[in-house]
Amino acid sequence: MRLNVYALCLALLVGATSVLSGCNKGGGAGGKRIGVTLLTREHVFYKDLEAGLKEAADKAGYQLIVTSGDMDLAKQQSQIDNFIVQKVDAIILCPADSKGIAPAIEKANAANIPVFTADIAAQGGQVVAHVASDNLSGGRLAAEYIAKAIGGQGDVGIIGQQEVQSGLDRETGFKEEMKKYPGIKVAAVLNGGGVRDKALKAAEDMLQGNPNLKGIFGINDDSALGALSAAESGKRNDLVIVGYDAIPEAVKAIQRGSALKADVAQQPRDLGAKTIEAISKHFAGQPVEKSIAVPVKIVDASSLK
């Protein structure tokens, strides 16, 4: 009986240890522990980002404690509080709310735990480094594509996500690039919250209020796919939609010749690897760039062949 109890305890211990995502195979239990709170684990981008973090952490001998904020600021704040209690060696954060997360970062600062942001920047608190796609450039690429596709004339709209800095940067880059085309007017900017159902409603409102709209930029693919649903239900096959992320569903929509004509493609695995690289430099006492940009590119039907 004692042997069975011992075996049960051992099994429970092994199960608990498995919660440490990305435990290294050769680094041993003494490796640095890094708390990670993702925006979500449901989106393909964040699945790939997590994979990039894990692969690089394994190589460096770090242990990742991976959680998801599920786009919920309060939940993410609680996760950071837990990391502080656990006395992790660093925190990687993809904020659900760029402004709202600042007090939680400040708590980590007070506990002398270095904070790194990935994909989405924070607006407050001390962050060692922010690693993200070049979102300003991505917004400009989207604007350039739409401008050329509609012949430099007409009204366009943006399905944005103002709660997070990455959404704001993509929107800013888009607007800046469109200033080069005097025949194009950004007629509407609505918040889709980065989720499909809300983006669908925003796109329906946008098309109803702007019947002559020629193009829509969705700041992520859920926004773009929501806009695509609105366009197809309204029989607006003439619309030019550009998304951001190039997830498989969006790629298929582009390839079948839908109104979703192009996407700004990110490199989430590289983003994860560069975040771990920045943390390694910090642990080693080396200087770390405050902002680390990962390149993006535009993809459409011709480049996806």
Is the overall model pTM greater than 0.85, yes or no? no
Give the C-alpha separation, 139 to 149, whole Å.
15
SS (H, E, C) the chain: CHHHHHHHHHHHHHHHHCCCCCCCCCCCCCCCEEEEEECCCCCHHHHHHHHHHHHHHHHHCCEEEEEECCCCHHHHHHHHHHHHHHCCCEEEECCCCCCCCHHHHHHHHHCCCCEEEECCCCCCCCCCEEEEECHHHHHHHHHHHHHHHCCCCEEEEEEECCCCHHHHHHHHHHHHHHCCCCCEEEEEEEECCCCHHHHHHHHHHHHHHCCCEEEEEECCHHHHHHHHHHHHHCCCCCCEEEEEECCHHHHHHHHCCCCEEEEEECCHHHHHHHHHHHHHHHHCCCCCCCEEEECCEEEECCCCC
CATH superfamily of 19-127: Response regulator (3.40.50.2300)
What is the residue extent of each domain of the chain? Answer: 19-127, 135-265
Question: Phi/psi of residue 32, each to 5°?
Answer: -60, 145
Predicted local distance difference test score (pLDDT) of residue 209 = 96
Could you please state the CATH topology (level 3) that the domain comprising 135-265 is classified under: Rossmann fold (3.40.50)
Rounded average pLDDT over 10-32 = 43
Predicted local distance difference test score (pLDDT) of residue 168 = 95
**pLDDT digit string (tens) for 39-78?**
999 988 999 999 999 999 999 999 999 999 999 999 999 9
**pLDDT digit string (tens) for 141-180?**
999 999 999 999 999 999 999 999 999 999 999 999 999 9
pLDDT band at 31 (very low <50, low <70, confident <90, very high): confident
Answer whether 19-127 and 135-265 agree in fold. Answer: yes
Predicted local distance difference test score (pLDDT) of residue 12 = 38
pLDDT band at 237 (very low <50, low <70, confident <90, very high): confident
**pLDDT digit string (tens) for 67-109?**
999 999 999 999 999 999 999 999 999 999 999 999 999 999 9
